[in-house]
Structure 1
Amino acid sequence: MADAQPHSPDEGEHALRHLTLRDGTVMSYRDIGRGPVLLLVHGWAASGAFFDTVAQALATEFRVLVPDLRGHGATPAGSAPTTISDLADDLNQLLTREELTRTVVLGWSMGATVLWSMIQRHGHDRLAGMVIEDMSPRILNDDCWALGMSSGMDAKASKRATDAMRANWPAYAAAFAPRMFARDRAAREPQIVADALNLLRARDADAMADLWSSMAQQDLRAELPGMAIPALIAFGERSEAYGPETSRYLVETLPAATAHGFAHSGHAPHLEQPEEFVDVVRNFARQALALATSNETSEGSIS
């Protein structure tokens, strides 16, 4: 299969596209709408399908790219154990192939880690802004860091988790799915949990365990102060994954960050409060793009 080719927005409002990555793995991604580009990056064990509702809504104003990361959705894992660095390089290849500039990126959970890693490895010249949805720059806790997962997960607990994934992925997925949502919502709306679980069950146990292990090794705290682009920290005020202190840390550490809490959401505000989520992301993207345009104009006038 040939590489995906850059295309102008008038080619169509909805398309499933494919990109042959450097090792021959074929990435699937959806390309929806017209306008400035938003790139939506899903979390661990999820897929681009988790963004269906918000992607369609945002596509009324933006061109929305929604990839399935390696080992997720319609994109295979490839032959080697998957790492965060692999996913970061894949996204950079997608941005390069599509010749994207002034892109607003959104990373949910692990998707944020992938974006941070991409910036660490390739810079942020192509980016106008980033939305970080309920994530920490280091998910594991220890004696010197307590802003990882709210469960207090440390290295030993992470190893137990990967062992459980490999031993019985369906059982692990069934326990994991409800924790994506605010506890009262999961109890009140069991269908939202069932829908998520139906997608989670499709993942390969070893691929998910390998990727979790890679994610647990990441510590991107030192990189954040150098990410000098507008950032929106979107978090669920009822998240069982990360506490509000983690979001405050991100606002204090990133050079140009603001936060928005979703009062009735857990770890997945885009699923739990999609209308408010779309409004918040749309407004942030408009502001980030306007700032990027203004900066480009100023630089051009100086030169």
Structure 2
Amino acid sequence: MTVQLYARDVGSGTPLVLLHAFPLSSAMWLAQREGLAPRFRVVTPDLRGFGGSVLGDDDPSIDAMADDVARLFRRLGLGRAVVGGLSMGGYVAMALCRRHPDLVLGLVLAATRAAADSATVRENRLRQASRLDGDGGTQVLVEEVLPNLVGPTTYRQRALVYGRVRGLVQATPPHAAAWAQRAMADRPESFDTLRGLGVPALVMIGDEDALATEEEARAMSEAIPNAELLVIPRAGHLCAVEQPDLFNQAIAEFAAALARTSR
């Protein structure tokens, strides 16, 4: 079946399409919709199975998720957009660049990696997917994924942020999370895509990220012909949620510069 993504669409101007992390939904982009909509058209879809989007019956695949986003572009009448992805959203954004490069005006990659999973990470994803399907609940995500989503500064000083992230994780549909884990486990590496990227890119990483590393972010920025790297202080994996003002400022400057040069 063809999946039609639910998306929040606010503001006007140069379009920004922001793709969310696992195991969250477009609700994670609240501060981006509020902070960036006065200057840009901010489109935040729920990837298939998450939030308001149905899962469908396709085999697990990051490429299928990218094709969903491409259909959303056509449905919303988007020509080209600055596409940003955080973590899993970054995998989808890179697949979009590979499969639908004509849609991408600029690329933002946050807290993600271009390498395929190691055997250990892949096995862990598949184990979690089996438990999600077997339990029919999100306990494995709360126990094993949630602790690495935010950095120590957020744990200590931003209790409301951590509580909100925990609530989003607990609201995740288990079968969608299992599907997404299998899709991520089978994704190919994306360095060839990045080396061939014909648009500017911004790579961001939190300096307290326990899941993606500054070394991996640097490897991506060095593979892309025209890229800048930004390390966000006092932020873990969900840098857009933990340090929204810094994240928004970086995206706004990047997108505004692209809009000027693409006129």
Structure 1 length normalisation: TM-score? 0.80
Distance 1:251 1:25, change over 3 A: closer
2:126 to 159, 166, 186: 159
On the 8 A contact 2:97/2:104 being kept in 1, the answer is no
Question: What residue is the counterpart of 2:57 in the other structure?
Answer: 79
1:69 to 47, 72, 95: 47
Question: What residue is the counterpart of 1:242 in the other structure?
Answer: 212
Name the amino acid aligned to 1:284. F
Equivalent positions of 1:146-185 (< 5 A) are 153-168=120-135, 169-175=137-143, 176-185=145-154
On the 8 A contact 1:81/1:207 being kept in 2, the answer is no
Name the amino acid aligned to 1:110. M
Give the CA RMSD over aligned residues. Answer: 1.8
2:250 to 274, 280, 285: 280
Name the amino acid aligned to 2:228. T
Question: What residue is the counterpart of 1:56 in the other structure?
Answer: 34
Q: Which moved more, 1:71-80 or 1:261-270?
A: 71-80
Residue by residue, what CA displacement relative to the aligned partner does 1:90-132 show, whole Å, maximum 9, x if unpaired? Answer: 111111223323411111111111111112112x223221110
- Equivalenced residues, count: 260
Name the amino acid aligned to 1:171. Q
Percent identity over the alignment is: 26
Q: Any gaps of 5 or more consecutive residues in structure 1? A: 1-22, 143-152, 294-303
What SS does structure 1 have at the residue aligned with 2:138?
helix
Shift of 1:24: 4.6
Equivalent positions of 1:166-245 (< 5 A) are 166-168=133-135, 169-175=137-143, 176-218=145-187, 219-245=189-215
Name the amino acid aligned to 1:290. R
Name the amino acid aligned to 2:104. L
Question: What residue is the counterpart of 1:251 in the other structure?
Answer: 221
Shift of 1:87: 1.0
Distance 1:158 1:292, change over 3 A: same
Higher relative contact order (CA closer than 8 Å, sequence separation 6+): 2
What SS does structure 2 have at the residue aligned with 1:71?
coil
What SS does structure 2 have at the residue aligned with 1:131?
strand
What SS does structure 2 have at the residue aligned with 1:44?
coil
Shift of 1:189: 2.9
Name the amino acid aligned to 2:38. T
Distance 1:82 1:156, change over 3 A: closer
On the 8 A contact 1:82/1:207 being kept in 2, the answer is no
Q: Distance in 1 between matches of 2:249 and 2:113?
A: 23
1:137 to 108, 114, 124: 114
Name the amino acid aligned to 2:194. L
Shift of 1:78: 1.6
Shift of 1:290: 1.8
